Amino acid sequence: MNANFRTLVLMALMTAIFGTVGALIGGRGGMILALAFAAASNLYAYWNADKIVLRMYRAREIGPDEPDPRLRRFAEGVAGLAARAGLPTPRTYIIDQAQPNAFATGRNPQNAAVAATTGLLETLTEEEVMGVMAHELAHVMNRDTLTMTMTATLAGAISALANFAMFFGGRRDEGVNPIAMIAIVLLAPIAASLVQLAISRTREYQADRIGAEICGRPDWLASALAKISSKAARTPMPLAERNPASGQMMIVNPLSGGGVSALFSTHPPVEDRIQRLLAMANGGGHPSVPPQRARPAPQRGPWG
């Protein structure tokens, strides 16, 4: 199923859950109140996401007068990928963290920022780093920050309605069975969260595919994901642990555990992502990606 169509179907499902729960619990007034509350909090986060998360991770912008030639080349590489994708050049940041990871933020392509950790540059080759940044630029191109903000707003509204019912008893004029009401209060937020996570995984698959198109080498990103996943599991990321909500922004969620079911994960299994990318490299993906031999990216050592 096309990723955009799948996202549309999941958003429709989330809307249906909201409508059903709202009608049973809060009525029209309660639905409007819950949606307004969730929209206000998420709109603030959407408008200020870049400032909030970059400050949280103590990210440092790489400017044109950057003294480190390695970081200058990194920023120049990002600018080249953005030009290839037809995007404005995003602000580029470096984060002093040992865990290899990266993310994109910003409310639209004109206000986008991409960030990578020092661990990413120390772990990957230049080709692999560019594969990762192409993935992040794909998130910018797809406006995934907006998509996930809309999803979070609906999920937040459903949770607000459930809390409304828990504290105030919900609507009493509908004759809803009390046991059914309890089940709705408990299960509706869980269902909304599962749909929200499914949308997040769909957007990651889409970013992998479009990122591979931007850089033209799916095997670069496949090799990068294998290295990131392996090292991230052994390297803590304290700031992500203190701010778990930011983990879903990363190319590999730094908080994912091996025993957690994929149903409750913000990201698809790394092994599945790698196999899809290698299939693209063999000519089994989008026709705009030239067939390549399914091989790891050149192993020239870390970015130096």
pLDDT in tens, 139-180: 999 998 888 888 888 788 888 777 766 665 555 555 556 776
Distance of alpha carbon 287 from alpha carbon 128, whole angstroms: 22
User: Of 136, 174, 213, 271, which is the active-site residue?
Assistant: 136
The 10 Å Cβ neighbour count of residue 68 is 10
Which amino acid, 99?
Q
Higher pLDDT, 30 or 186: 186
281 has a pLDDT exceeding 50: yes
Instruction: Decide if 291 is inside a domain.
Output: no
SS3 36: helix
**Residues flagged as binding site for Zn(2+):** 135, 139, 204
Instruction: Decide if 113 is inside a domain.
Output: yes
Instruction: Decide if 290 is inside a domain.
Output: no
Distance of alpha carbon 198 from alpha carbon 270, whole angstroms: 15
- Position of tokens 């910018």? 140
Instruction: Decide if 295 is inside a domain.
Output: no
Binning pLDDT at 50, 70 and 90, where does residue 292 land?
very low
The candidate with the shortest Cα–Cα distance to 284, out of 228, 235, 219, is 219
Distance of alpha carbon 130 from alpha carbon 224, whole angstroms: 9
Distance of alpha carbon 175 from alpha carbon 94, whole angstroms: 57
Calculate the dihedral angle through the C-alpha atoms of 172, 176, 178, 180, rounding to the nearest 10 degrees.
-140
**pLDDT per position as a tens digit, 82-141:** 999 999 999 999 999 999 999 999 889 999 999 999 999 999 999 999 999 999 999 999
- Position of tokens 């392996």? 230
- Position of tokens 């955009």? 4
pLDDT for position 273:
95
Higher pLDDT, 203 or 5: 203
**Residues flagged as binding site:** 135, 139, 204
Instruction: Decide if 289 is inside a domain.
Output: no
Residue 28: exposure state from Cβ atoms within 10 A (0-12, 13-18, ≥19): exposed
Domain with 201 in it: 3-284
Domain count, the chain: 1
Taking a C-beta distance cutoff of 8 angstroms, is the pair 25, 161 a contact?
yes
**127 included as an active-site residue:** no
